[in-house]
A and B are shown apart, each in its own frame.
Chain A
Amino acid sequence: MRNEILAAIEKNSRIDLKELAVILGKEEIEIINEITSMEKEGIICGYHTLINWEKTSLEKVTALIEVRVTPQRGQGFDKIAERIYKYPEVNAVYLISGGYDLLLTIEGKSLKEISSFVSYKLSTLEYVLSTATHFILKKYKDHGTILSNEHEDFREVIIP
């Protein structure tokens, strides 16, 4: 049941729990209990909103930053990752296999704000060997949702 609940609320965290119970063929109380347990266990870590910022008047810049670091004895990458994720500007930090070590996503008001973060804070950190910053120009799809999606129903009105 957990997987079914997670699949449903990952797509729509505002789904009415009574309705969720109906479509999954369960009792509402079971659903509520499972969700509460998953929140406690840290399986469900938060409920966020997917926003297409391009459609607002707010200026926002997002960048992906590749970071190469020297892992520390005994602590691997975790300590460095922690140093980095504590910055509130940093949205996400992933340890990556391949050509570099950490991938960050960062949001800022402007290119300048992000580049100053990279040059004054990030690249000056001990153990950071190099960084490569990629600015996002346009988001087509995010969290499985196509942002420009206006899906039209091309079907006839009635078909036997």
Chain B
Amino acid sequence: MKNPLSENIIKIKPSGIRRFFDLVSEMKDVISLGVGEPDFDTPWHIREEGIYSLEKGKTFYTSNSGLKELKQEIATFLKRTQNLTYNYEKEILVTVGGSEAIDLAFRAMINNGDEVLIPQPSYVSYEPCAILAGAKPVIINLKAENNFKLKPNEILEHITEKTKILVLPFPNNPTGSILERKELEKIAQICIENDIYVLSDEIYSALTYKEKHVSIAEISEMQDRTILINGFSKAYAMTGWRLGYACASQNIIEQMTKIHQFAIMCAPTTSQYAAIEALRNGDKDVEAMRESYNQRRRFLLNAFKEMQLECFEPHGAFYVFPCIKEFGMTSEDFATKFLMEEKVATVPGTAFGESGEGFLRISYAYSLDTLKTAMERLSNFITKLRTK
């Protein structure tokens, strides 16, 4: 019999910490701080628009690139929040979550052997999607001493003639790190000088706690080099609706739309109607959720300070990334022991790349009460470890 499998897919490593994930899923009565999605329900007025669209029988495909009204709202939103101008007919594509947009961008842009710069720790899908598109992923290991920000010299060290795309995953999952305008300007300059495109994954753009999010596309001469990816999951607590979008110059969006058209047809219709409402009337919801996250963020940082656990102050997303190196264990061992002894689930930093070793991702997409109990247990746990 022929091998039924593609060599390309076999090359993709399964997640290194699958063992840990399996273990967690079998445990009962666990307090989880391991989830990368909001704890809020989608705001009711947004859900209602989804329901209305179903009642009215809007149950058909939309055009491949998405509802015209939604694309217009996305363009208006980007203009209003980031002063970016995109032509809604030619430069915006509505996708099945930000994830699909990441995949499409690689597939539309990569030639075999092109190199893609991927800073890590970062979300798990960039590397496999790049490989599947035929790219050679080049990992940039971000450093704790830089608060996991991407530094210009780190890019320069990894650039070759084959470098085509830089992935820019900020605000960052899992570290919560953000890049500010000055830092982006330096990165932009390198990209322009070395003719590199940027895949800017801005899915957490609504959740920053220091200054308003800045997109690298805002920096002069960068819009044409940037594939801006965003979506509704994190900002509007709409993960299950599976809706995101990509904005880029017409020639890129055209090719991405081609793949999307043949592989997906269109993003879910119900979700698109709900998303129009989210963009039109959802600002106050986002603001309220951001304020809640910010309170929890402050609570966790203070709790770490009290238990003297090292952690830099993250200004984005809904994660903190404390350092557990003092305990002389790997992240996975620490997370496993913490899970078994205190029944709290966290995610080992290594789930997001080797440079996450020695760190733990703790999500604060949980109520303050849950976080309080979890921090009591964490404090207990590390006190025990320290007295051993």
Q: Which residues of A contact B (CB under 8 A)?
A: 19, 22-25, 153, 155-160
Q: Tell me if A159 and B302 are in contact (CB < 8 A).
A: no
Query: Is B36's beta carbon under 8 Å from chain A?
Result: yes
Q: Tell me if B39 and A19 are in contact (CB < 8 A).
A: no
Q: Tell me if A158 and B298 are in contact (CB < 8 A).
A: no
Q: Tell me if A157 and B295 are in contact (CB < 8 A).
A: no
Supplied contacts A158-B24, A158-B35, A160-B352, 6 more A-B pairs, CB within 8 Å: A24-B295, A24-B298, A153-B39, A157-B30, A157-B345, A158-B347
Cα A157 to Cα B295 with chains together (Å) = 23
Interface residues of B in 100-136 (CB under 8 A from A): 123-124
Q: Tell me if A158 and B37 are in contact (CB < 8 A).
A: no
Which residue in A22, A155, A160 is a CB contact (below 8 Å) of B299? A22
Cα A22 to Cα B21 with chains together (Å) = 33
Which residue in B24, B25, B123, B296 is a CB contact (below 8 Å) of A160? B123
Minimum CB–CB distance from B369 to chain A (whole Å) comes to 10
Which residue in A22, A23, A24, A159 is a CB contact (below 8 Å) of B35? A159
Which residue in A23, A155, A158 is a CB contact (below 8 Å) of B21? A158
Q: Which residues of B contact A (CB under 8 A)?
A: 15, 21, 24-25, 27, 30, 32, 34-37, 39, 123-124, 173-174, 295-296, 298-299, 302, 345, 347, 351-352, 368
Chain B contacts for A25, CB-based, 8 A: 298
Q: Tell me if A23 and B352 are in contact (CB < 8 A).
A: no
Which residue in A23, A155, A156, A159 is a CB contact (below 8 Å) of B298? A23
Interface centre among A19, A24, A159 (most CB of B within 10 A): A159
Interface centre among B24, B124, B298, B351 (most CB of A within 10 A): B298
Minimum CB–CB distance from A15 to chain B (whole Å) comes to 9
Chain B contacts for A156, CB-based, 8 A: 25, 35
Q: Tell me if A157 and B368 are in contact (CB < 8 A).
A: no
Cα A156 to Cα B34 with chains together (Å) = 9
Minimum CB–CB distance from A80 to chain B (whole Å) comes to 38
Cα A160 to Cα B124 with chains together (Å) = 7
Chain A contacts for B21, CB-based, 8 A: 158
Cα A49 to Cα B25 with chains together (Å) = 39
Chain B contacts for A159, CB-based, 8 A: 34-37
Q: Which residue on B lies nearest to A8, using beta carbons? A: B295
Q: Tell me if A158 and B302 are in contact (CB < 8 A).
A: no
Cα A57 to Cα B320 with chains together (Å) = 46
Cα A160 to Cα B37 with chains together (Å) = 9
Minimum CB–CB distance from A36 to chain B (whole Å) comes to 22
Minimum CB–CB distance from A153 to chain B (whole Å) comes to 7
Which residue in B34, B39, B299 is a CB contact (below 8 Å) of A157? B34
User: What would 10 A/B residue contacts be, using CB atoms closer than 8 Å?
Assistant: A19-B299, A22-B299, A24-B298, A156-B25, A158-B21, A158-B347, A159-B34, A160-B36, A160-B123, A160-B352
